[in-house]
Amino acid sequence: MRSRRDFLQKITVSAIGLPLIQRYDTTGIQNFIHPSTQNKVLRVAIMGLGSYGTRVADAMQSSEKAKLVGVVSGTPSKIKDWQSKYNIPEKNCYNYENFDRMKDNPDIDAVYVITPNALHHDQVIRVAKAGKHAICEKPMAINAKEGQEMVEACKQANVKLLVGYRMHFEPKTLEIIRMRKEGAFGKVLFFQGLSGFRIGDPNQWRLNKELAGGGAMMDIGIYSINGARYMVGEEPIWVTAQETKTDPVKFKEGVDETIMFQMGFPSGAVASCLSTYTMNNLDRFFLNGSEGFAELQPSTGYGPIEGRTHKGKLTQPHKTHQTVQMDEMAAIILEGKQPVVPVDGAEGVKDLKIIDAIFQAVKAGKKVEVQV
């Protein structure tokens, strides 16, 4: 899954030698000579150096439009390790107390926030105030209210806010969306999303309500919510939901273990989904229409994604999701590229509104209307 490439060693050039180096076709040197070309590469700092942060960092070594140049961590030893592994200069290293100083660092364009869910709100707002574009891992916040505040803060600071929806750039997923738009499935009638795995360590932050904002729904269930929206091609207008809990010790109050939920769409299409932390082998999307079907299994894993439709197997090639995501996000930020499926803060808020409604439906035991 990981794709590594060693960074080129930094080149130090004296003022005396500057006229001579223009003959060399080296990207780093060209950027030094021609500052106007620097924005062709998005210079990114990663905040949160855990397992997924590492996955993104490794994938970025193959990126053509995004480069890892900085880090933010509360663990000094991790910072030292990343400096050595990814050739990150000391001046681009920060902790959670001082990363606001990025405001005075012109060598960082964007910060990818990969920390526990409940921290996203404040951290993204601080990133925006520092004048940097924000990429935030999903869910972008623990509720829609916080998500909207993040959107407004980034808008006020005139910076982009993108959310880590890597599946929005996945080729087989995009092929199904293309086919649906062209009417290949006829009238869309039904979507099924199964998202789950058996979670391990009971002491991890994902099982801490204060840090995660919930349980399986915030971590894995959001894939079925988001997948239903881009595969059906509509926004839900109602939800119903039922929660089951077999281990109240591991899954404490406010930390959902398993939620089954249903969504209704304006066209009459319906979705039936499962979000769980207690069952493996659940990573499947199925779309049914009057003229055909589409299936992805696995549908959201790190890959390769496998899919088929009534017309046969999907054969689009696999490329590391995070590499593609960072290239595409760099194009959005630097070139104004419009993705097929949005990855902006407004998209993240829509998912959060649906999650809020699902939690409300669980408590109320009845259908809850949604307006995203």
Predicted confidence (pLDDT) per residue in 275-329, tens digit: 999 999 999 999 999 999 999 999 999 989 999 999 999 999 999 999 999 999 9
- Rounded Cα–Cα distance for residues 137 and 117 (Å): 8
CB atoms within 10 A of CB 113: 25
- The DSSP call for residue 207 is G
Report pLDDT for 19. 36
Q: The CATH number of the domain where 64 resides is what?
A: 3.40.50.720
pLDDT at 50: 97
- Asked if residue 252 and residue 150 are part of one domain, the reply reads no
Say yes or no to pLDDT of 22 above 50.
no
User: Are residues 81 and 31 located together in one domain of the fold?
Assistant: yes
Residue 217 has pLDDT above 70, yes or no: yes
* Same domain, yes or no: 148 and 280: no
Do 46 and 161 fall into the same domain? yes
As for how many domains the chain has, the answer is 2
- State the pLDDT confidence band at 7, using cuts at 50, 70 and 90: very low
Residue 211 domain-assigned (yes or no): yes
**Closest by alpha carbon to 298, among 308, 283, 309?**
283
Is residue 30 very low, low, confident or very high in pLDDT (cuts 50, 70, 90)?
Answer: very low
Q: Clarify whether residues 240 and 263 are in a common domain.
A: yes
Is residue 223 annotated as part of the catalytic site, yes or no? yes
Q: Which of 142, 165, 188 represents a domain boundary (last residue)?
A: 165
Q: Is residue 329 situated within a structural domain?
A: no
* pLDDT at residue 369 tops 90: yes
Q: What is the pLDDT of residue 84?
A: 98
Q: Is residue 201 very low, low, confident or very high in pLDDT (cuts 50, 70, 90)?
A: very high
Note the pLDDT of residue 318. Answer: 97
Amino acid letter, residue 47: M
Whether 158 and 252 have beta carbons less than 8 Å apart is answered as no
Do 358 and 252 lie in a common domain? yes
Question: Is the per-residue pLDDT at 29 higher than 80?
Answer: no
Residue 328 falls inside a structural domain: no
pLDDT at 172 over 80: yes
Residues 276, 265: Cα–Cα separation, whole Å: 23
Residues 6+ apart with CB under 8 A from 366: 240
Alpha-helical regions (H) of 50-188 = 51-60, 76-86, 120-129, 144-156, 171-181
Tell me the residue range of the domain where 109 lies. Answer: 18-165
Residue 366 designated active-site: no
Residue 325 domain flag: no
Give the pLDDT band of residue 38 (cuts 50, 70, 90): very low
Residue 101 domain flag:
yes
Same domain for 311 and 179: yes
- 217 and 360 within one domain: yes
Q: pLDDT at position 13, please?
A: 33
Q: Is the pLDDT of residue 14 over 70?
A: no
Domain with residue 217: its CATH number is: 3.30.360.10
pLDDT beyond 60 at 4: no
User: Which of 112, 223, 230, 277 does the annotation list as catalytic?
Assistant: 223
Residue listed under structure tokens 């223009």: 22
- Tell me, what's the pLDDT at 165? 98
* 206-216 pLDDT tens trace: 999 999 999 99
pLDDT at 68: 98
Higher-pLDDT residue of 108 and 24 is 108
Report whether 274 contacts 282 (CB < 8 A).
yes
Which of the listed residues 115, 147, 165 is the one where a domain comes to its end? 165
59 and 161, same domain (yes or no): yes
Question: Is 256 part of a structural domain of the chain?
Answer: yes
Query: For residue 288, is it left (φ>0), alpha (ψ between -120 and 50) or beta?
Result: beta
Mean pLDDT score of the chain: 92
Q: Are residue 133 and residue 174 in the same domain, yes or no? A: no
Examine residue 10 and state whether it is found in any structural domain, yes or no.
no
pLDDT tens-digit profile of 107-128? 999 999 999 999 999 999 999 9
Per-residue pLDDT of 233-258, as tens digits, reads 999 999 999 999 999 999 999 999 99
Is residue 60 a part of any domain in this protein?
yes
How many residues appear in the chain?
372
Q: Which residue has the higher pLDDT, 296 or 13?
A: 296
Same domain, 235 and 297: yes
pLDDT at residue 185 is higher than 60: yes
Last residue of a domain, one of 165, 195, 227: 165
Which of 67, 132, 138, 172 is an active site residue?
A: 138
Residue 182 shares a structural domain with residue 141: no
